[in-house]
Amino acid sequence: MGQASHLLSDSRVLVAGGYADGETRSSCELFDPSSGGWVAAPKLKAHRYSHGASTTPDGDVIITGRFNEDGGLSSTTVFRVSDGRWEDTGELVEGRFDHRSVSLDDGRTLVVGGRAGSNVLASSEIYSPSRDNWRIACPDNGALRHPYEGRQSPCGGRVERR
């Protein structure tokens, strides 16, 4: 439970981290649909559970944050499909877990919401691979907690139904 699963460009599936038998895991596996089998992949550099993950436009998988008893952690890493290795990609500005991550067409990654300990985060961050850094894309103004019609949108303006 709490692992991330992603379809790779070569049709394999990467499963990373998770929680089992009372422990947070760093193990990773690859499922190959052509053989119907699983093989071990290189371990994550850190144990991860309730982390975010998204596939970048070039087919790599970026893993963000993770659960920690003291709150969310800020470390991030990317799985390079071309050579099957993990590479650190900087630190989130705010440690978080249970958040959502999406890769944008221009290669950047957007991370939204999540939790830090018992606090719900309504901020978002964006990662620029060309600069290898994270920055706040939208501060926590509370709007993400109730984003429905007529309310303020996360970064100003109003949410309208289409």
The answer to whether residue 159 is domain-embedded is no
The answer to whether residue 79 is domain-embedded is yes
The answer to whether residue 31 is domain-embedded is yes
The pLDDT value given to residue 34: 94
Q: Please report, for the domain that includes residue 78, its CATH number.
A: 2.120.10.80
The answer to whether residue 60 is domain-embedded is yes
Show pLDDT as tens, one digit a residue, over the chain (162 residues): 667 788 888 889 988 888 788 777 788 899 999 999 999 999 988 888 788 888 888 888 898 988 766 667 888 999 999 999 999 888 999 988 888 888 898 889 999 888 888 888 888 999 998 888 899 887 665 554 444 444 444 554 443 444
Residues with Cβ within 8 Å of residue 90, at least 6 apart in sequence: 76, 127, 132, 133, 134
Beta bridge partners of 37: 32
Is the distance from CB of 1 to CB of 7 less than 8 angstroms?
no
The pLDDT value given to residue 155: 52
The answer to whether residue 154 is domain-embedded is no
Domain that includes residue 76, residue range: 4-145
Give the pairing of strands 85-91 and 73-80: antiparallel
CB atoms within 10 A of CB 2: 17
The answer to whether residue 161 is domain-embedded is no
Three-state SS for 144?
helix
The pLDDT value given to residue 35: 94
Count of domains observed in the chain = 1
The answer to whether residue 126 is domain-embedded is yes
Record the pTM. Answer: 0.77
Three-state SS for 11?
coil
The answer to whether residue 82 is domain-embedded is yes
